Structure 1
Amino acid sequence: MRYYLAVIFPFFILLLLGPTLIRVLEFLNYGQQIRDEGPKSHLKKKGIPTMGGILIILAILITALLILDLSSYIIWALIITIGMGLLGFLDDIIKIRSRRSLGLKAREKLIGQVLFALLLAVYVYLYTDLGTFVILPIKGGYINLGYWFFPFVIFTVVGTANGVNLTDGLDGLASGVTLIVVSSLAVLISALGYGQLTLFALIVAGACLGFIWYNSYPAQVFMGDVGSLALGGAVASLAVLSQTELFLLIIGGIYVVETLSVMIQVSYFRCTGGARLFKMSPLHHHYELAGLAESKVVARFWILALIFALMGLASFYVI
């Protein structure tokens, strides 16, 4: 029964409280800031309420307190989720107050993300039986990372958080992709016997489902960095606490592709003296500028996210 409640509770929390939050954000004039160099079709989105991710965090927290046994694993999953969300909150507030599309400096944001990731790595290393082992896809068994475990966890947490953040660029894109990712992780984690983490994954899925209600095209509210970084923290903590970080690289393939598109674009721009490989990065904007409707880009990325998720699950069940 708790598996059903884990999805239903956060969904209805968002469904019931969403209109109130949207009105409050509108009253506070917490509107989205649009990049000048972005697609011209996005100019109409300027002023649409942002920071809707606050409700995602509240739905996750309230549901977790109601139906989960607050084991240390769950407490740390919540710490990373909320902590990363607070970083995003600061970023969003700076953007809104300064009326620009850039908030915290990249270095400031990175330091905060690394700090939370390092805290999670130290907890796993010192206070759990997980040690420095991760599960290998396809081949099966475990690999001992030794002291490489710490940079590996930092890479997982920071990479996932920023991957979700970069994916959050079109209506319903990040919330839909993350719904697919955490639902797949729930199947994987359940097979490994982590009952409470499975419930946590389903809670995050329910929160994403509820947010899509308001964030699908045309969006009534955006999650902001407070939502995308919190979701990234939740997904990464699930992977680290279940030793499934390498599976996340496959299941979260959209995050990987979006991040790589930015890295490739920047590198190509610098190496060629200003030329661009993509019309714009992250990759979803490239397809928008190529003429695809926003809703079609989102739908196709959801399909690809599902394919990546099935590939990740297949790599586990062949073990």
Structure 2
Amino acid sequence: MLELVLLLSLVLSFLISVLLSPLFIPFLRRLKFGQSIREEGPESHQKKKGTPTMGGIVIVLAIAIAALFISIRFLSFSEEILLLLFVTVGFGLVGFLDDYIKVVKKRNLGLTSKQKLLGQLLISVLFYFGLRYIGFSTEISIPATNFQIDIGWLYLPLVIVMLVGASNAVNLTDGLDGLLAGTSAIAFGAFAVLAWYVDLIDVSIFSAAVVGAVLGFLVYNAHPAKVFMGDTGSLALGGAIAAIAIISKMEILLIIIGGVFVIETLSVIIQVISFKTRGKRVFKMSPLHHHYELSGWSEWRVVVTFWFVGMILAVLGIYIEVWL
């Protein structure tokens, strides 16, 4: 029965996403909400200029509707679902403001870094106090062991680092057609399995809803993309996956299951440090997916390769939690 509920959550969010997107894309075109492409990016990306963005609105709507309906209809509405929705919608709103400024001002930069960080910090702190309000433990679990460490007040900065870090890492990964949609579907799928395994059915339902939403969006976001999710979608997904890892007490496993996002972020950090200290670049361009593009790989080859790596890391995360 529980497996059927999870499947229903995935299917419902998929249908909402796949049916809403073709209605939403023409609407975005009429509003001239097209993607701006940074001039220093790969030359091949210039043809994507004007492709409708802010498609992440559909993803967030599909997640919220499916998760709420399934949890209320088949379970009882939980505080955990409410907190997950708060983070997803909250980070999605920050991303929406960023996207809106970009398309209205017709420039590639939206909110300033300080404005974006302030919004992310506010949502993260409120999420933490929401956790504490429902009596959430400040212990972190060590994967493959029964060992837990209570870090007390340090759990607040951990929550902030995880939410802000994950949202920005996922945002960096959103650079090629279908790249983020595919890798996030894999990562959230792993958390849906793990949450179900530890009897966090509400969290599993939410994770399954995310998988369905991004797969439905992928129908229109796969190369050549008809729509981009924008920061609205990428920040929402980043916040959501970190919140799921926190509520599931799988904080450390997020580094493995979300390994593609970690690698993309590290490539940017390495590039910046190398250029500032040595005046040399390690990669042809960062994030890492652009390096492979400029090395002669087709966009589709880069995307599929990153999906495959994400799948290996997701299986590794499940193996560590379930069998070790």
TM-score (norm 1): 0.97
| Greater shift in the superposed pair: 243-252 or 139-148 | 139-148
Determine the C-alpha separation between the residues in 2 that align with 1:4 and 1:251: 21
Matched, 1:142 2:148: yes
**Are 2:265 and 1:262 equivalent residues in the alignment?**
no
**Residue matched to 2:22:** 19
Indicate the residue corresponding to 2:293 in structure 1: 288
Distance in 2, matches of 1:278 and 1:42, equals 18
Aligned length: 317
Match of 1:277 among 258, 275, 282: 282
Deviation of 1:144 after TM superposition, in Å, equals 1.4
Matched to 1:159, the amino acid is G
Q: How does 1:79-158 map to 2 (within 5 A)?
A: 79-128=86-135, 130-158=136-164
Which deviations, in whole Å up to 9, do the C-alpha atoms of 1:212-241 show, x marking residues without a partner? Answer: 000000000000000001111111111111
Measure how far apart 1:4 and its partner are.
1.4
Q: Which residue of 1 aligns with 2:8?
A: 5
Partners of 1:152 and 1:305 lie apart in 2 by 24
2:189 matched residue in structure 1: 183
> What is the identity, as a one-letter code, of the residue corresponding to 2:192?
A
1:39-118 alignment runs, 5 A limit: 39-68=42-71, 69-118=76-125
1:168 partnered with 2:174: yes
Aligned residue for 1:182, secondary structure, equals helix
Q: What is the Cα deviation at residue 49 of structure 1?
A: 0.3
Deviation, 1:65, is 2.3
1:217 partner amino acid = H
What are the superposed Cα offsets for residues 141-176 of structure 1, whole Å, 9 maximum, x if unpaired?
322122211111111111111111000000000010
Q: How far apart, in 2, do the equivalents of 1:215 and 1:134 lie?
A: 36
Alpha-carbon distance in structure 2 between the residues aligned to 1:127 and 1:179: 29
Secondary structure at 2:252 match in 1: helix
> Are 1:210 and 2:216 counterparts?
yes
Deviation at 1:61, TM superposition (A): 1.2
How far apart are 1:8 and its partner, in Å? 0.5
Q: Residue by residue, what CA displacement relative to the aligned partner does 1:65-107 show, whole Å, maximum 9, x if unpaired?
A: 2111321110010000000000000000111111111111111
1:126 Cα deviation after fit: 3.5
* Counterpart-to-counterpart distance in 2, 1:217 and 1:47: 15
Q: CA RMSD in A?
A: 1.0
C-alpha offsets along residues 284-306 of structure 1, whole Å, 9 cap, x if unaligned? 00100111000000000000001
- Aligned partners of 2:5, 2:310: CA distance in 1, in Å? 26
| 1:313 maps onto 2:303 in alignment | no
Greater CA drift, 131-140 or 176-185: 131-140
Distance 1:239 1:116 in 2: 16
**Using the alignment, how far apart are the partners of 1:283 and 1:116 within structure 2?**
29
What is the aligned partner in structure 1 of residue 245 from structure 2? 239
Quote how far apart the aligned CAs of 1:207 are.
0.3
Deviation of 1:125 after TM superposition, in Å, equals: 2.6
Structure 1: give runs of 5+ residues left out of the alignment. Answer: none
The equivalent residue for 2:309 is 304
What is the letter of the counterpart of residue 6 of structure 1? S
**How big is the shift at 1:260?**
0.7
Could you tell me how far 1:138 is from its partner in structure 2? 2.1
Letter in 1 for 2:5: R
CA distance in 1, matches of 2:255, 2:68: 29
